[in-house]
A and B are shown apart, each in its own frame.
Chain A
Amino acid sequence: MDALSRPAVVIDNGTGYTKMGFAGNVEPCFITPTVVAVNDSFSGSAQPAVRGTPARGNWLAQHSAGVMADLDFYIGDEALARSRASSSHSLSYPIRNGQVENWDTMERFWQQCIFNYLRCDPEDHYFLLTESPLTAPETREYTGEIMFETFNVPGLYIAVQPVLALAAGYTTTKCEMTGVVVDVGDGATHIVPVADGYVIGSSIRSIPITGKDVTQFIHQLLKERGENIPAEESFDVARRIKEMYCYTSSDIVKEFNKHDKEPSKYIKHWTGTKPKTGAKYTCDIGYERFLGPEIFFNPEIYNNDFTTPLQVVIDKCIQSSPIDTRRALYKNIVLSGGSTMFKDFHRRLQRDLKKIVDARVRASNSRLISGDAKAQPIEVNVVSHPIQRYAVWFGGSVLASTAEFYEACHTKAEYEEYGASICRTNPVFKGMY
């Protein structure tokens, strides 16, 4: 077997969660928080402790302290558990807002993903990694350097996340590579128009409301109501409550009334055990079930600084795209990312966006003088599919199992001949559309 006949490794490093697995599968093998726990007790304290010792001893002590610290780290859920259990490890989130911020911990994170989670030899597989649509070309070079030099991968393709999400929606029917991707993850929300597989860069919109904000908001509501949740795990509980019980309502006033009329039907309960004492506790979950996701449609209930609803941003994004693509874009709005998983999210978004579009068509028609041709109604279609939670990964899995993928990859030989700059661009390839 050679690398071309083995499945490619597909890793989607999100701000919050990393999805990793092998091409050709429907699901990633692991979904794990993108976090590293590093032991900083060595590197920090070693210096003062060895001051005054002879130069050589000093160097040796520092060197071995450094090596120890290098080896002593954890990723994902194990990292979170480790940092909770002891103060010797501190957490590093290598990705912020979709961009790699800490290359040292990013490299360690990959190392563990490859060797301890997927348990594969990186020399044996082509790799498909993902990046945010706003990533700078230098970042891609860095990624290429680490992949080719440290891990010796035979081939690498760095795909743009929303393009993969678009590819994920169309596997059974004909693949349509024009559309708007609404990617709402944990730490970044991007609205990205794509035409024929190419991102329309100038029209990308980002909004500062993400999955983490929904958690934050629910956390705040629970706290204000005085729910009895131990402080050390309250944020995590808020997140789990969000993932299990939140839904999108069609109208908040009506929803408040429904809850008030039939509380037993709508109020849920959470039971947990206090980490310190082991005692059981319970709390109620009420209005936050629909108020959480509402912050996308009415951001002012959460935040005074940013008040533009998601549907308005999407509309502006499409309106700023080239005129000949707009109809196709409205017709194919694809959801991606964990925070689009709220029940009925796509219905609400479709309805609210359609309202804006219809109002515009009506307004322009009313300005017409009799005899002018009327504007055709515009089809608005928000697409939702079952693998939305990891649509980016799934799109990667599908594309990386085509023969064209291997041709589109940069190979180690090319890297050695031309250097890291080849990683700056990654061609859109057939099979994408």
Chain B
Amino acid sequence: MILLQSPSRFLLQILQDRVLSGEKGMDIDCHTVEFDDVRYHIQFSMRNPKVMVLSVALPLPPPEAILYDGLPLGAIEAIKAAYGPVVQILDPPKDGFDLTMKINLTKLPLDEEQRNTILTQIASIREVVLGAPLKLLLKHLASKTVAPNVNNLVALVHRPNESFFLAPQADKVTIVYPMRFQDSIDIVLATSFLQEFVEARRTAALNNVPSCMWSPVPPLELKGVSADALNANAGFVTFVVYPRHVEGKKLDRTVWNLLTFHAYVSYHVKCSEGFMHTRMRRRVESLIQALDRAKSDAEKLKKLVHGGSFKRLSLKNEGDSRF
């Protein structure tokens, strides 16, 4: 299985190599973009080498997703809980971003292992912020309650202008993804991948993973949702998550996997296209080899023919060997 890791490799690399080792006393001012239009901007100046500034832009929210000061439900609390005194949130964020944080490098723990843990967490800012509402709701599920003041259907942004939906109950949370792809081949591949994905889970009777369904039309849970939010071209995937899937350490993993489900499918689709091409290239190569062999056989034959001993064959073969 190809799974994306939660920490951004790039953020982690910058945090670990450049700033802490201090080997290169160079300023940093760098922009990157991840899948689903999550953007980062990192600034570090030798004039103030104790601080690094990290800004994050989130996917453009669709109308049905509710944000609080531009951030998903519970994001601020999640940042504070994850980073403590190391990180300070700047208000307002930098122009063009939804969140700007000052990372105080002098407040990092001295113990190498602890320091690495927190740097890895900073590099996982995407999960901390975008996953905050999901984590909140699933934490309640772990204690078999429903979070107060939430609707019975919650829309959470996960891609630009797209949300997925949660129906929280005390004993289970139902999660529905309308699946959309741009490219026509991708739509076909994704649809069949999803059906197989669901089937594989059913037949393998994987009791430890959430049960999962695919349907071409919106499931009942989405009744009343606006039509725009429901125009999916690769069907709908539904997961039902029970308390046992989110107890203890499983929670973080489940949050990240649910948050990146679309990216996971998209990555698989791209990879299978890649593998198909590899196969096709190999096939073409072996065909060319076969043709070459056939050609040289034909040529050998032709030589013999011109040698004069196979007169009767000559008529038939000369025509073929012209290829």
Contact = CB atoms under 8 A, between A and B. Distances in A.
A115 B10 contact: no
B33 A150 contact: no
A59 to B, nearest CB: 14
The 5 closest A-B pairs by CB, nearest first: A121-B35, A119-B34, A150-B274, A150-B273, A29-B10
Interface string B270-297: 1101110110011000000000000000
B82 to A, nearest CB: 20
Nearest to A21: B32
A413 to B, nearest CB: 12
Nearest to A117: B9
Interface string B257-279: 00000010011001101110110
Contacts, number: 87
A151 B60 CA distance: 23
Nearest to B14: A29
Contacts of B267: 115
Interface of B: 1-2, 4, 8-10, 13, 29-37, 60, 160, 182-183, 186, 263, 266-267, 270-271, 273-275, 277-278, 281-282
Interface residues of A, number: 36
Nearest to B278: A104
Interface centre among B35, B182, B282 (most CB of A within 10 A): B35
Contact of B33 (A6, A71, A107, A145): A6
A22 B183 CA distance: 24
A145 B276 CA distance: 13
A121 B274 contact: no
Contact of A25 (B13, B31, B160): B31
B10 A30 contact: yes
Interface string A97-124: 0000001100110010001111111111
A82 interface: no
Nearest to A111: B274
A116 B31 contact: no
A107 B270 contact: no
| Of listed A29, A107, A108, residue having the most chain B CB within 10 A | A29
Contacts of B36: 121
Given A111-B270, A150-B274, A118 B281 contact: no
B34 A150 contact: no
B221 to A, nearest CB: 28
26 contacts: A6-B33, A22-B31, A26-B29, A29-B13, A29-B30, A29-B32, A30-B10, A30-B13, A70-B271, A70-B275, A103-B281, A104-B282, A107-B274, A107-B277, A115-B2, A117-B9, A118-B10, A119-B8, A119-B10, A120-B35, A122-B270, A123-B183, A150-B277, A151-B270, A152-B182, A152-B183
Decide if the interface of chain B is mainly helix, strand, loop or mixed. helix
Nearest to B274: A150
Nearest to B269: A152
B212 to A, nearest CB: 21
Nearest to B183: A152
Nearest to B27: A26
Contact of B278 (A107, A119, A124): A107
Contacts of B282: 104
Nearest to B277: A150
B60 A1 contact: yes
A3 B60 CA distance: 15
Given A22-B32, A108-B274, A121 B281 contact: no
A116 B35 contact: no
Contacts of B186: 152
B182 to A, nearest CB: 6
A71 B2 contact: yes
A7 B30 contact: no
Pick from B9, B13, B278 the residue with the most CB of A within 10 Å: B278
Nearest to A386: B26
A125 interface: yes
A120 B33 contact: yes
Contacts of B277: 107, 145-146, 149-150
A67 interface: yes
Contact of A116 (B9, B278, B281): B9
A121 B266 contact: yes
A299 interface: no
Contact of B35 (A107, A111, A119, A150): A119
Given A107-B274, A123-B183, 8 more contacts: A1-B160, A70-B271, A104-B281, A107-B278, A119-B8, A120-B35, A145-B277, A149-B273
A152 B277 CA distance: 13
A24 interface: yes
Interface in A27-68: 27, 29-30, 67
Interface in A130-150: 145-146, 149-150
A152 B181 CA distance: 12
B99 to A, nearest CB: 18
Nearest to A25: B30
Nearest to A146: B277
A133 to B, nearest CB: 26
Contacts of B30: 25-27, 29
A21 B37 CA distance: 16
Contacts of A146: 274, 277
Given A150-B270, A150-B273, A120 B183 contact: no
A111 B8 CA distance: 17
Contacts of B273: 149-150
A49 to B, nearest CB: 21
A125 B278 CA distance: 23
